[in-house]
Amino acid sequence: MRFFSYLSSFISAWRDYPAEENTVLGNRYTIQQMIGEGSYGILYQCLDQQSGCVVAVKQSRPSKGDYARQLLNREAAVLRSLQHPQIPAYRDFFSNNRNCYLVMSYINGDTLEDLIFEQDMKYEEDECIEITLQLLKLVRYIHEQGYVHLDLRIPNVLFKDGRINLIDFGLARRIGEPPPLHVPARKKFKRNSSASSVKYKDSKESEDLRDIGHFMLFMLYSTYEPDNNRSAVVERSWQEELHLSIELQNMIKRLLQLSEPYLSSLEFMNELQSLANARNHPSDKDKKGSL
């Protein structure tokens, strides 16, 4: 029994082995390098021989058969519906006997993890609010088109030239659409690695907002300095470790659904914008109190 299990794994790995550099896909797209893979797809950076542009090509994973092709068709449909300069643009879709291929505009950039751990960036409350508002405007656009992203993780938010870009719409669904039924465990698509299996979320705006809450905390922890005098055994909550204003703390609690959740991304965006305005333009009463 173990032998057949090993043989099956070996065959799957052989079938899923990434294509080599300089391989031409669809008689048009020359592979420059593989830039990521997940359980249901492989992502390549390619040169479009017709336009001379660098593009991203996502291939369905051969060993996953029809379901992988179905997922990629679904992602292509989402990208066709979204036309935004900070979201990958749909370019092409083609298939051969075994695989489907989705061609998108190539978006490169730094993740928040890159900025914090490699470039030593620190984010105070004001910077966190500004960046979150940028992300929210993009997420709000997606929601207005009737979709939820459902995978707003650190690797999928890219910073480039002062703008935020959002990639990987493999889990996106229509708002209110039920999750897939009887689906085998799937690993999240992540550049350069494979992550843990996916637990499908409800197709609600609140799920994207929860991800944004975690994104904000990751950013704010860039300024955290541990107390070396405190016992490491005693765990503290983020409310205790981060010295946040009560207004921002309450917002994050609502995002994480630790208190009454926001009804929509628009509600949160308006509230966060009001906080930003108040911090940038304090009232006369606040000015007098600081004298």
Helices (H) and strands (E) in the chain, counts: 9, 12
CB 111 within 8 A of CB 159: yes
Q: What is the pLDDT of residues 170-192, one digit of tens each?
A: 999 999 998 776 455 444 444 55
Could you give the residue numbers annotated as active site?
151
Q: What is the pTM of this model?
A: 0.84
End-of-domain residue from the set 51, 76, 105: 105
Joined tokens for residue 122: 């620190």
Q: What is the pLDDT of residues 116-126, one digit of tens each?
A: 999 999 999 99
Number of domains in the chain: 2
The CA distance from 139 to 153, in Å, is 13
Helices (H), ranges, 155-290: 205-220, 238-241, 246-255, 265-280, 284-290
DSSP state, residue 136: H
3 occurs within a structural domain: no
Same domain (yes/no): 206, 231: yes
Same domain (yes/no): 217, 190: yes
Same domain (yes/no): 67, 95: yes
1 occurs within a structural domain: no
The CA distance from 241 to 223, in Å, is 10
> What is the model's pLDDT at position 199?
62
Cα angle at 152 between 108 and 111, to 5 degrees?
35
Which CATH number covers residue 100? Answer: 3.30.200.20
Joined tokens for residue 51: 């336009």
Report how far apart, in Å, the C-alpha atoms of 140 and of each of 30, 109, 163, 268 are.
35, 21, 16, 10
| Beta bridge mates, 173 | 148
Q: In which domain, by residue range, is 26 found?
A: 17-105
The CA distance from 182 to 8, in Å, is 21
Q: 267: helix, coil or strand?
A: helix
The CA distance from 36 to 29, in Å, is 17
Same domain (yes/no): 127, 269: yes
**DSSP string across 64-112:** GHHHHHHHHHHHHHHHHH---TTSPPEEEEEE-SS-EEEEEE----B-H
Same domain (yes/no): 121, 21: no
Same domain (yes/no): 199, 216: yes
Angle between helices 265-280 and 205-220 (to 10 degrees): 30
Average pLDDT over residues 86-114: 95
CA dihedral 267, 161, 36, 223 (to 10 degrees): -70
Choice among 153-162, 192-201, 263-272 with the minimum mean pLDDT:
192-201
> What is the model's pLDDT at position 49?
98
| Beta bridge mates, 36 | 43
Per-residue pLDDT band for 1 (boundaries 50, 70, 90) equals: low
4 occurs within a structural domain: no
Q: What is the pLDDT of residues 63-93, one digit of tens each?
A: 888 889 999 999 999 999 999 999 999 999 9
Closest by CA to 147, choosing from 122, 166, 134, 161, is: 166
Same domain (yes/no): 43, 160: no
Joined tokens for residue 193: 């690695």
2 occurs within a structural domain: no
End-of-domain residue from the set 105, 121, 151: 105
- Spatial neighbors of 19 by CB under 8 A, at least 6 apart, are 25, 31, 34, 42, 44, 59
69 occurs within a structural domain: yes
Residue linked to tokens 């292509």: 76
pLDDT of 6 strictly over 50? no
Q: Is 58 annotated as a binding residue?
A: yes
The CA distance from 48 to 55, in Å, is 7
Task: Compute and round to an integer the Cα radius of gyration of the chain.
Answer: 22
pLDDT of 270 strictly over 70? yes
H-helix or E-strand spanning residue 59: strand 54-60
Task: Work out whether strand 24-25 and strand 29-38 pair parallel, antiparallel, or are unpaired.
Answer: antiparallel
pLDDT of 262 strictly over 90? yes
End-of-domain residue from the set 72, 105, 138: 105
